[in-house]
Amino acid sequence: MSENVTSEPVKMPGKYELIAELSKFFPQENSSTVVGTGDDASVIEPNDNQMVTSSKVYVENVHFDLTYFPLRHLGYKLATVAFADVLAMNAVPSQLLVNIAVSDRFDLKMVSEILSGVSACCETVHADLVGLDLTTSPRELVISMTAVGECEPARLCTRKGADENELICVSGDFAAAYTGLLLLEREKKVFEKNPGAQPDFTGMDYLLRRQLKPEPRLDIIEKLRQEDVLPTAMTNVSDGLATAVMQICKASHKGCVLFEEKLPMTELTFTTLKDLDIVHTVAALNGGDDYELMFTIKQSDFEKIKKVDNVSIIGYIKEEAAGYHLITGDNVQVELRAQGFN
């Protein structure tokens, strides 16, 4: 099941020549990038915009499992995760810095595969690689990324700013990535018991793609600007819908109501979760790994938001004393609890 391990190490002598060679796969296209890789530090000049940054560290066997994770997909996903926090500020990604620690289990081809995925994601959001460093690790693969973005001061969004009666919106659909992870973990257990077994993922391509190669939602940011919709608060949905909405509510000192029947989910996700004997609403609220956007808008923007594809209204903001609740399909109000990854 795994083809990611090799005995040919990355040679640390000549590291700077290696970094220079790998950096050639990352052409620069942003005017705010003054100095990229190849010097002691990068230089970024965002002009009149505000600079938004987010740093992430990913550790093998904590954040990803190379038993079933293609290295190119891994690079793409980790870059997506880094860019997701920049997008969640209503900012546009512009630069990325990457640090990789590898053991002698990895050869140059494997490192290049990871960076090819990073390069593909950078191309998707039109961001420049401005920092790249390689070092050694005793065993586990460790990757850190710092994403940089730009935003006009008037358009910057934080989790704080939601007000009573505003609408809660989300991009995309939910629980597919979590369902994909369940399938991968299930087949991994089969493989560990019988290394000759072949995984059965027939008809599950969408679920696997949502887990292994999520897409950065730059398209949503661009559509909101096209329709002149300025969210009042925004966050990245990485650890389930419940965690995300409570992050906005706590920062804004507000309560909320979500509607179970409004939570967007594909039929494939729903039926697969049912087959796995998992309640679909619980998976959507707490599953995680979606990397979609949640944001609040004024009711006056209702007609505008209807023109933005792939966005759903799932609830509304209430006063802080109301707390956080979900209205179920049979019209029962239950308290929301965040049970996502911590």
- Residue with more model confidence, 74 or 194: 74
Higher local confidence (pLDDT), 235 or 201: 235
**Quick one: average pLDDT of 12-17?**
55
- Domain count within the chain: 2
Q: Which two tokens stand for residue 292?
A: 């979609």
* 321: pLDDT strictly greater than 60: yes
Q: Are residues 133 and 199 in the same domain?
A: no
First to last CA, the chain: 29
| Closest alpha carbon to 125 in 33, 238, 215 | 215
Q: In the predicted model, is pLDDT for residue 341 greater than 70?
A: no
* pTM for this predicted structure: 0.89
- Same domain, yes or no: 148 and 171: no
304 occurs within a structural domain: yes
At 10 the pLDDT is: 52
User: Do residues 297 and 232 touch, judged by C-beta distance below 8 A?
Assistant: yes
- Alpha-carbon distance of 258 to 325, in angstroms, equals 6
Examine the domain organization and report whether 127 and 181 are in the same domain. Answer: no
User: Would you say residue 99 lies in a domain?
Assistant: yes
- What is the CATH number for 122? 3.30.1330.10
- Asked whether residue 203 falls in the same domain as residue 72, the answer is no
pLDDT tier at 38 (50, 70, 90 boundaries)?
low
29, part of any domain: yes
CB distance 129 to 122 below 8 Å: yes
Note the pLDDT of residue 339. Answer: 75
Final residue of a domain: which of 103, 123, 155? Answer: 155
Would 61 be classed as within a structural domain?
A: yes
More confident residue, 42 or 290: 290
Query: Does residue 122 lie within any of the structural domains?
Result: yes
Residues 128, 219, single domain; the answer is: no
Q: Which of 155, 176, 209 is the last residue of a domain?
A: 155
Residue 147 shares a structural domain with residue 208 = no
What pLDDT is attached to residue 22? Answer: 65
**What amino acid is encoded at 324 in this protein?**
Y
Percentage of the chain surpassing pLDDT 90?
A: 76
Residues 139 and 174 in one domain: no
Range of the domain at 116: 15-155
Give the model's pLDDT for residue 13.
43
